[in-house]
A and B are shown apart, each in its own frame.
Chain A
């Protein structure tokens, strides 16, 4: 059947068509919609779907699934694979039973990420095959192929969509979803392949190296490696860059050789054929020069004179994402054809920047305001990954590195000799993902500082997924609801307090007490995400500014998108009635609309 599908939905579809019986992931843009989609339809199939607490947990659960004989998938964003790197690296030695696919979605240009790392490097690092889809159709087809490949060679297989594949939509031909049993026959004891004692790991490493040639040979003939030999000039392009290259050649009406690559290790026989046939080649790929390096190695052996254009020559950028115009122009330049200059549009400098901002009424903004009042502008605010990082304009985001790092970096700054007050900010989902260890570490090593857990009862940034603090699972079933307060105490925090950030005075007092506590203190600021509340059907009050407004701009400084200013403050229809601006206004000029 033909359907109009988002890339991630196509991957979810592939998981079902492949007969997988277990899917685990941690939300992260651009990968989240895979589990989101599966969890919505899970009840119709014999499949376990979970949001795991983090990516390491997700991968290990998927490994267990595979070892129980059930086709399993783990999903995450590229940086999530760093968290799962420990199981990932050794898994390649131990191997799989039923097919195991790891989806690690890359984000060139950092649309919604802290870096641009290239998952294909992880594939090389672990000696694991990797598939690089160019569009939603390939993403679906490759997902199914990946399970077969994984079983054939007893290795995990990486699927690496990028943002422009995961978040692309196109017409896709879908297949049949098998009915019936998806769970396997159970775990079979086999210590030589399941226990990574050195005595087992040594031969397993050799075996992994030995199967590389066979894997490469099998991948050579995969349908996504397409060779078209014409003139002695050509383009080699991988993943989505292959589509950009095809479009460029059509646009330029240039009839030259083209090799499209969709699998790794890159198909070196096809590359060899190409290299022997040509005298000049441009390698087009996003991020790291993975294919380019293979081309260089092959050319050294069979055509040392080959002129190779790409990242090293400066023709294709290594940072950021590619786009059709950049690729078109790079190829046109190589062919000596005319280049289309990007449009110069005079006047665009008057467009005001529009960075993402915390929603009107968001509890994070209120918490930041109170925190800043209590800790002052000289305090150090280590921050973390989530919606709250967007609050950077409020002066309470001094660092952001990776999931959970707020607390540990805060400790390090203290032990590094900085005596100023330190307030670490971390969201509820991020705290449960990687913050608990940091808190335990801080308590154990007697870190003197405050940790603010900004609890909005969801994983907001990635699309409002549940977590262990919400009391529901991915599929909406009720489960234990863990208490952040009890965890904080159990991990050794000396002072723990919960507060409602919309009550400014109480909130400032709570942060002040935490600041003055001579040890490790935790403030849990609880305010469910406004988007979540709206979806649950909550009707918000609205506030307005009365004639008492003297135009002092104090409410404007709060930077709620609902507050505008033109000589006097004005509240627009975006207001969700949190009431904090009314508490800030020194003239009492903001009131509820009756």
Chain B
């Protein structure tokens, strides 16, 4: 039996705004009266390490998505998509920002950063992969920092929450002077996914 209506795993690099995405979803779910559970990464990994956030809609159990159970994997960084690919369910959706953030293990030459296609191929084997350059799209929206909101816009197509409520929650969650650019980022991200 399913124990959650929609399980999402949101991954990226510390500092990319992973938690904000989940916060907005949670607030939207609250407005919709849907029970929501989330687990966040704080502390050491936030210093440029790899971070993962679990978000579960319509769930009254623990906050963690079981491995192989995520309906959606949202990756703000491509290598992180593959690192946490095991969470994604067969037939699930992977939304991937294609702009890499190089770890110091790569900049110092100890490891090679794989090509985007090498990263996406294993995921394509069992899931629907939607890749976009969210960082570039965010720049078009007016601020490269809003790549997370671009991805949220794309993900909104797959979430069982009313879009109007997500936008409400978005407005509540960002400083007033940044609302417009975030709204734009959301719209551009949504437009990347055809219905």
Contacts and interface: CB of A to CB of B under 8 A. Distances in A.
Contacts of B66: 323-325, 328
Nearest to B81: A351
A462 to B, nearest CB: 7
Interface in B45-82: 45-50, 61-69, 79-80, 82
Interface in A391-412: 393
A112 B61 contact: no
Given A170-B36, A323-B64, A112 B42 contact: yes
Contact of A353 (B63, B82, B105): B105
Interface string B1-27: 111000000000110000000110011
Contacts of A354: 13, 48-50, 79-80, 83, 103, 105
A506 interface: no
Q: How large is the interface on A (under 10, 10 to 19, 20 to 34, 35 or more residues)?
A: 35 or more
A474 to B, nearest CB: 18
A557 B108 contact: yes
A251 interface: yes
Contacts of B43: 29-30, 111-112, 461-462
A246 B107 contact: no
Given A170-B36, A352-B111, A244 B103 contact: no
A205 to B, nearest CB: 38
Contacts of A226: none
A135 interface: yes
A541 B86 CA distance: 40
A350 B114 contact: yes
Interface string A29-46: 110010000000000000
B183 to A, nearest CB: 21
Interface string A228-261: 0000000000001001101100110100000000
Interface residues of B, number: 60
Contacts of A357: 47-49, 103-104
Given A111-B45, A356-B44, A169 B23 contact: yes
Contacts of B104: 355, 357, 393, 559, 561
Of B22, B44, B68, B86, chain A has the most CB atoms within 10 Å of the CB of B44
A550 B66 CA distance: 49
Contacts of A246: 61
B40 A356 contact: no
B64 A556 contact: no
Contacts of B191: none
B109 interface: yes
Contact of B29 (A171, A343, A387, A563): A171
Considering residues B37, B66, B121, B144, which has the most beta carbons from chain A within 10 angstroms of its beta carbon?
B66
B61 A390 contact: no
Contacts of B121: 347
Contacts of B39: 164, 167-169
B122 A347 contact: yes
Given A112-B43, A250-B1, A352 B62 contact: no
A553 interface: yes
Nearest to A573: B144
Contacts of A134: 62
Contacts of B26: 4, 169-171
B40 A168 contact: yes
Q: Which of A246, A347, A553 has the most CB of B within 10 A?
A: A347
A490 interface: no
B141 interface: no
B153 interface: no
B47 A168 contact: no
Contacts of A244: 61-62
A535 interface: no
A524 to B, nearest CB: 23
B82 A556 contact: no
A565 B105 CA distance: 12
B47 A340 contact: no
Given A2-B30, A359-B47, A347 B40 contact: no
Given A6-B40, A324-B69, A348-B82, 9 more contacts: A164-B39, A168-B63, A170-B36, A250-B61, A324-B62, A328-B66, A561-B48, A565-B107, A573-B144
12 contacts: A30-B43, A33-B42, A167-B39, A170-B36, A247-B62, A324-B69, A342-B86, A345-B122, A352-B114, A353-B111, A572-B102, A573-B144
Interface of B: 1-3, 13-14, 22-23, 26-27, 29-30, 35-50, 61-69, 79-80, 82-83, 85-86, 88, 102-109, 111-114, 118-119, 121-122, 144
Nearest 5 CB-CB pairs, A to B?
A112-B43, A29-B43, A356-B49, A347-B122, A352-B111
